[in-house]
Each structure stands twice: as structure tokens, then as C-alpha cells.
Amino acid sequence: MRNFEEKDVVRDIVENILSDYKNGRDIDKMTVFHQPDREAIIDIVTKLMRIFFPGFYRDKVYRFYSVRNNVSVLIEDVMYNMQKQIAIVLHNKCEFECCDEDDIQKTAQELTFEFFQKVPKIREYLNTDLQATFDGDPAANGKDEIVLCYPGFLATTIYRIAHELFILKVPLIPRIMTEYAHSKTGIDIHPGATIGRYFFIDHGTGIVVGSTTTIGEHVKVYQGVTLGALSTREGQKLHGKKRHPTIEDDVTIYSGASILGGATVIGSNSVIGSNAFITKAVEKNSRVSIQNQKLYCRPGEKTQAELKDLNLNDGWY
């Protein structure tokens, strides 16, 4: 008797949830076949890492001793799966609502070809990022260590992949890629940001780079830096407008600094100190820092002799 009662309860729960799907809200959409496969996109990113860095990531699937054959098979694999995922997300674009499947597949193929034609350019940028990281970090024992270990370099690599797809106006996939990097590294770079050559992220955890940010060449950014919007109160009315700062060439931004606003420009060859909060333009060759704050320390039960040994200056109490 109890089993029948449990089945009735389960049936009622199922019917209740199915009825809830009929409310016409955004969360009720049932077009699951027009949504990309997140795991497939992550697999594409992983395989692209092998294409970009052929001597760093071990091949676990293909068994070819010829580099040409290995890369050829790998590229064909990635191209097939990328085209498949692009075709899926194109259904979400208004201009493709009335297109037949053949037109969508053709456009997806063209976008895939365009992306792969940009691979040498992406690799050129990545080589400069690698050099900047090696030159800028005395703790680096070699470039192999940077490629295989550094979260900042990984986040930058995935951003550069996603950015090219973003430029091609491929929906959703670029954001999935950078959010994957975000989840792996703690570094949040929107694929719409524009970042020049020789970009170096040191440590990286907690960095946020907004979608309309522009960063020049030879820029170094430390952990916890936010390049964000001054206000998002107007919500979607701000979509597409310049909301995030511009960082010119040869700028260093130390940990915890926040630089906000679309009109905020950090001039070239400037240094932004830790925890600075900037909402206005900074002239080139500037040094921005917060005035030293007093640090209060309660010595507890220490004797005067012990306190003297600590050499506490006037900033300690």
C-alpha cells in the first residue's frame, strides 16, 4: 500500500513541475537542441591548446609520428566540432530565425574557416605574452613552466581564442570559453575586451577585465585588479557602450587596484599602486599610490624593553 502512495506523490510532483514549465518565462524555454554543449566547447579549448603549443601538451588520442599528420588530424577534429557548436548557437541569432539548416551550416563552416585562418596571429600574440611573462617574473625558471603552470598565461590564452570568435560575432561560445578559464584560474576576462601584445598577468587570482576594456601593449596586471564599469544602474541601456577603462602602453597595475569607467584613461608609462581606486583619467608617466596609512598594533603584555627591541616607529601604536 505504501508503494502506491509513494508513486502517487511522485506522479503529483512530476505533474506540478511540468505545469510550472508552461508559464512562458525565460527559464521555461525548451529549445535544448539550440544550446551548445559546454563540455564539447571545453574539449575544443583543450585541443586548441595542443595546436597552439605542439611541444607542450601530450597527445593522448592520435598516434602519428609525423607532426604534419598529427596536426592535420587534430585540426580537422577541432574544425568539425567547432562548426557543429557554432551551427547550434547560430539558431539563437535573430537573423538566422528564418534560415534553413543548409544556410546555417554554411555560415558555421565559413566562421570556422575564418577563425582557423587567424591561428598564426593568435600564436604571434601568445608568444609575446610568454616573453613578457618570462621577462617580468624573476620566479620563472623557464618558459615551459609558464606555459604549463601559470594561471595568468592560461587565462590569457583562452581569452585570445575567445576574443577572435567574439570579433566574428559568434554568440555564446566565447563567453563559455572565458568563463571556463575563470573557473580554472580565478581570472575573469570578458572576450569582448581588447588586449595588446606583451600582456602579463602576475599571480592573477581575482582579476576582472570588463567587456569594453582596452589594454595597450606591455601592460602588467597583478592579482585582485578590477578594470570595471563605474555604474551599471542603467542595466541593458548601457549594452554596447564604452563602460570600462582604457589602459595605455607600458602600464603596471598592482594588486587590489580598481580602475572604473569608460572615460577613465590610464596614460602610458604609468604605475598604479596597490588598492588605488581610480575613476578619473591619469596622465602619462604618472605614479599613483595611496598615502601610507598608520598601522595599529596592540603589544599586549610585552615589557618596555621588548617593545624597544621591536623598533616600532611612530606609525605603530
Mean pLDDT on 61-87: 84
Q: What's the rounded Cα separation, in Å, for the pair 159 and 161?
A: 5
Domain closes at, from 139, 159, 187:
187
Residue 177 lies inside a defined structural domain of this protein: yes
Domain closes at, from 187, 217, 235:
187
Residue 13 lies inside a defined structural domain of this protein: no
Do 163 and 294 lie in one domain? The reply is no
Average pLDDT for the chain: 89
Contact 200, 220 (CB under 8 A): yes
Q: Which residues of 228-262 are buried (b: 16+ CB within 10 A; e: fewer)?
A: bbeeeeeeeeeeeeebbbbbbbbbbbbbbbbbbbb
Give residue-wise pLDDT tens across range 26-37: 888 777 667 899
CA distances from 124 to 52, 210, 253 (A): 10, 24, 24
| CATH, residue 149 | 1.10.3130.10
Give residue-wise pLDDT tens across range 102-111: 999 999 999 9
- For the chain, what is the largest distance between any 2 Cα atoms, rounded to a whole number of angstroms? 86
Residue 200 lies inside a defined structural domain of this protein: no
Residue 5 lies inside a defined structural domain of this protein: no
Residue 22 lies inside a defined structural domain of this protein: no
Residue 18 lies inside a defined structural domain of this protein: no
- Using the predicted structure, report yes or no on whether residue 304 has a pLDDT greater than 60: no
Residue 25 lies inside a defined structural domain of this protein: no
Percent of the chain with pLDDT over 70: 88
Structure pTM? 0.85
Give residue-wise pLDDT tens across range 242-291: 999 999 999 999 999 999 999 999 999 999 999 999 999 999 999 999 88
Closest CA to 77 of 103, 38, 116: 116
Enclosing domain of residue 213: 206-316
| Total tally of structural domains belonging to the chain | 2
Q: In the structure grid, which three cell numbers stand for residue 139, read together?
A: 620566479
Do 219 and 312 lie in one domain? The reply is yes
pLDDT on residue 317: 35
